[in-house]
């Protein structure tokens, strides 16, 4: 697994051992970021990578010009893996790390504001809906923020009036929703 493009392009990322983490593959990540860059939302963004695993999504954002990324995971091994990958890239000064469950209201820090959100939770647990509600209720999103939600194919989020679906892309068994916060 590698960073696809940008200042860290083609640099390798450490991968997890076993099947506990399901990292977004290089091709899907590349397609996600091509779509985001076409919208002009990556450069200078303050981003958050929820359920970060290896940190590949947030690190790809930093590689392509995001200003900062907060990485959240409830598994200490996953968070350590993301932090190790950030350190290997020399990106620690652009990163924050939170050990906690993004599906719980208390993990998000009051006053943080995000332009770009990555949600890649374990499939079939409806965690996308929960996190979207938390982000909205705690006023953690800038007006026009973009949310990239990766799920199993066919998943339909329960969206409040604060979110609109911009597009849906299917890659094999994976569905990627691009949402806008209004």
The pLDDT tens digits for 10-21 are: 999 998 776 566
In a domain, residue 115? The reply is yes
In a domain, residue 36? The reply is yes
Cα 78 from Cα 53, distance rounded (Å): 5
Separation of CA 174 from chain center: 15
Domain carrying residue 31: 26-181
CATH number, position 97: 3.40.50.150
Q: Considering its fold, how many domains does the chain have in total?
A: 1
Cβ atoms 59, 87 nearer than 8 A: no
Cα 61 from Cα 67, distance rounded (Å): 9
In a domain, residue 51? The reply is yes
Cβ neighbors of 99 (< 8 A, separation 6 or more) are 73, 74, 76, 79
Question: For residue 119, what is the enclosing H or E element?
Answer: strand 114-119
Q: What is the pLDDT of residue 23?
A: 73
Cα 3 from Cα 11, distance rounded (Å): 6
Cβ atoms 97, 70 nearer than 8 A: yes
When pLDDT is cut at 50, 70 and 90, the band that residue 54 belongs to is very high
In a domain, residue 130? The reply is yes
In a domain, residue 136? The reply is yes
Q: What is the pLDDT of residue 145?
A: 97
């Amino acid at each position: 697994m590698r960073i696809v493009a940008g200042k860290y392009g083609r640099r390798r990322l450490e991968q997890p051992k076993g099947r506990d983490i399901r990292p977004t593959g290089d091709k899907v990540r590349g397609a996600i970021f091509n779509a985001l860059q076409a919208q002009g939302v990556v450069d200078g963004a303050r981003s958050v990578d929820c359920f970060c695993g290896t940190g590949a999504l947030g690190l790809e954002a930093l590689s392509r010009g995001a200003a900062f990324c907060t990485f959240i995971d409830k598994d200490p091994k996953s968070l350590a893996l993301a932090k190790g990958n950030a350190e290997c890239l020399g990106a620690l000064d652009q990163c924050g790390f939170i050990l906690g469950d993004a599906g719980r209201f208390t993990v998000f820090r009051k006053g943080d504001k995000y332009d770009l959100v990555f949600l890649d939770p374990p499939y079939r647990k409806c965690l996308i809906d929960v996190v979207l509600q938390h982000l909205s209720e705690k006023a953690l999103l800038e007006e026009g923020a973009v949310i990239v939600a990766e799920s199993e194919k066919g998943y339909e989020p329960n969206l409040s009036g604060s979110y609109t679906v911009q597009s849906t892309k299917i890659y094999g068994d994976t569905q990627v929703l691009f949402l806008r916060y209004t």
